[in-house]
Amino acid sequence: MSKSKSVLIRMDPGLKGLIQAAVASDPELDESKLCRRVLRDYFESQPAPKKKKKAGPKKKDTFMDDIFALWGEIMPPGITRPKTKTAKRKALIASRRSEEGDLLRWEWAMRALRLSPWHMGNNDRRWKADLEFLLQPSQFGTWIDAGVQIENAGAARDGGLFAKMMREERAER
């Protein structure tokens, strides 16, 4: 057996049968034609390779970015601003998003929280609420409901309390 045939057999034992069949069908075939025929037959007999999905750029979690931006806009100075996207924050935001996916209601909840002096540090321990506090399962629904109630009550009077707060904040800037 020639050197090229032995190399092919060592590469893939399944080729041995194809080589023997090619040699038996045409013993006068030269070595290069034999190799081409065997390889063609071999690759035609193999299933097509599965296409790999191209790893494109990672999708940005824009909802999380929006939450971070809202928190930074709404909360007064002195309230901790989240800077890093930790796994814990991602999980908390994803869980709360499944409960309430409307970003406007998240904004209302943050504004309602801001209206609470106790949660902004006016308490005996000087404790201040942070984003993780709002994202707790026991707190999130409460503040969403409070934000909706405040907005609905104010909407009948002057377009909404939060709309008024936003106008005042923009006027200050």
Write out pLDDT tens, residues 64-96. 889 999 999 988 888 888 888 889 989 999 999
pLDDT for the residue numbered 61: 66
Which position has the higher pLDDT, 137 or 32?
A: 137
Could you give the CA distance from residue 36 to residue 22 in angstroms, rounded to a whole number? 10
In this prediction, residues 122-130 reach a mean pLDDT of 91
162 confidence band (pLDDT: 50, 70, 90): low
User: In whole angstroms, what is the distance from residue 157 CA to residue 161 CA?
Assistant: 9
Residue 103 near residue 65 (C-beta atoms within 8 A): no
Separation of alpha carbons 96 and 101, rounded Å: 8
pTM exceeding the 0.85 threshold for the entire prediction: no
